[in-house]
Chain A
């Protein structure tokens, strides 16, 4: 079911594939960098709040909820990288369709 995605590509497909990879990277950077910066700034404010005004400490409840959920997903993300979940990033979209085709073929 696994296939080598780059094998058998025509000279026309190759630049398209490169373009698609670049657009993915650019979009990821455009989204992630400003969002992470904003998040970092707000995290710093939270820490200063927790150390300062006692009346504002209640705000920590929702933030801790968020941080716990995000921490879980951060670990999952690290696990996914270490286990090669992104090694051939485009392959699953083809192998899943192939499996679907085979499952339906056997019904006919």
Chain B
């Protein structure tokens, strides 16, 4: 396509929609962190609302996890997709009206989920506690998202950039994963088979919804930021197809030592280790791309978020390939090790990437530089120190709890020894929460600055 035939950015991207998705995402992140904070207070026996059913920490823990997945991550991804897909394909989404409808409908889904959980209507599925009456609505929403974005992608001809492969797969996988997890155990299969499907759902939500969208965005934004192409596009496709074939069976590793046949448990372990090898190829590609531009880690804030997230990603996958071995699993199952691992993945990796994307896009969307570079730096460091401290703390706590259980000590002993770890966890969470508050303040100031500038420009 010649420069004259190129569509305008304004025709392709609805910037107001991108901002709306990002603001909704950050609002949900605030709510989710508040839920985490309440649960952390409960763990150290300082819960401020004992006996209030609607604020029960058990329910707020579920709000914490569900709002992160469907409120923060989904909204932030949708915002970034509305920027990246039209620019990559040079075509608008199927319908901008449909995009606004999806935006409104998705907020209804997330808010209904939170309210349903508060009222005690949670579905008995880990990380899929969305009340059963919301599931068909959420699934219809995911179908609309897929149709809206697949329309421009499907009209492309010739070799496609790796980001679009990841996005295409994510649209299909997310729909299938949600349907499998929320409908099969509820209506079609029972007992151990339902447990196995639940395990697949939990892990596939990470690997087949969040991971392809996350990596797709990294393959899109990192070359733009570094102003050079990815080191090897061929290797990036090895990573994509490796994920496609090895990831779907990983979830059973959540149910080692259960009545699920051993061959299936071993298959999940092998698939998990295979994914670690695939992940290594992806990281080699990104770090080879960074070669010669290392100073960007200091000077470019989005790049710093992206690569910090990649380091956490490598650590979590490495951890995963160890913790899915039977020996390791016997010690850490049900302990806080797993909670530390989950926080490192969800916050240290995917939230870092999305916060990096927002750090890059907000000034472009608001047409002005950030109001405070210092506040950007504070946001990054508070988040980094917070998540490092929280993950390390919980990962260390895990073996203490595991050994106390293995020795058949009274349950109270493991609680007593955990409390210092849970106190540190609270401090770490507060650091991350403070980082978010600094970021929200910076967005507010930048918004005010942007309005002031546009007001001045209008008066000139």
CA distance A28 to B284 in the complex (A): 13
Contact of A62 among B158, B200, B227 (CB under 8 A): B200
Interface set, chain A 53-108, CB cutoff 8 A to B: 56, 58-59, 61-63, 65-66, 69-70, 72-74, 77, 84-97, 99-100, 102-107
CA distance A28 to B241 in the complex (A): 10
Query: Which residues of B line the A interface, CB within 8 A?
Result: 1, 3, 6, 8-9, 12, 87-88, 90, 158-163, 169, 172-173, 176, 180, 184, 189, 191-193, 196-197, 199-200, 220, 223-224, 227-238, 241-242, 244-246, 248-249, 251-252, 260-261, 263-264, 266-267, 270-271, 274, 277-278, 281, 284
B90 and A99 within 8 A (CB): yes
Contact of B6 among A39, A49, A61, A106 (CB under 8 A): A106
Contacts of B193 in A (CB 8 A): 58-59, 61-62
Of all chain A residues, the one with the shortest Cβ separation from B267 is A42
A2 and B278 within 8 A (CB): no
**Number of chain A residues close to chain B: CB under 8 A:** 55
A89 and B233 within 8 A (CB): yes
CA distance A64 to B53 in the complex (A): 41
- A12 contacts partner chain B, Cβ-Cβ < 8 Å: no
Task: List 3 A-B pairs, minimum CB-CB distance, nearest first.
Answer: A93-B229, A92-B161, A42-B267
Measured between C-beta atoms, what is the minimum distance from A4 to chain B in Å? 13
Query: Which residues of A line the B interface, CB within 8 A?
Result: 1-2, 20-21, 23-24, 27-28, 30-32, 34-35, 38-39, 42, 45-46, 49, 56, 58-59, 61-63, 65-66, 69-70, 72-74, 77, 84-97, 99-100, 102-107
Q: Count how many pairs of residues, one from A and one from B, have CB atoms less than 8 Å apart in the complex.
A: 159
Of all chain A residues, the one with the shortest Cβ separation from B190 is A58
Contacts of A31 in B (CB 8 A): 238, 242, 274, 277-278, 281
Of all chain B residues, the one with the shortest Cβ separation from A69 is B248
Beyond A61-B196, A99-B6, 16 additional contacts (C-beta under 8 Å) are: A27-B238, A30-B277, A31-B242, A35-B245, A35-B277, A39-B270, A62-B193, A70-B244, A85-B158, A87-B159, A94-B229, A96-B88, A103-B9, A103-B87, A104-B9, A107-B9
CA distance A92 to B199 in the complex (A): 36
Contact of B248 among A70, A93, A103, A107 (CB under 8 A): A70
CA distance A69 to B158 in the complex (A): 25
B224 and A97 within 8 A (CB): yes
Measured between C-beta atoms, what is the minimum distance from A40 to chain B in Å? 11
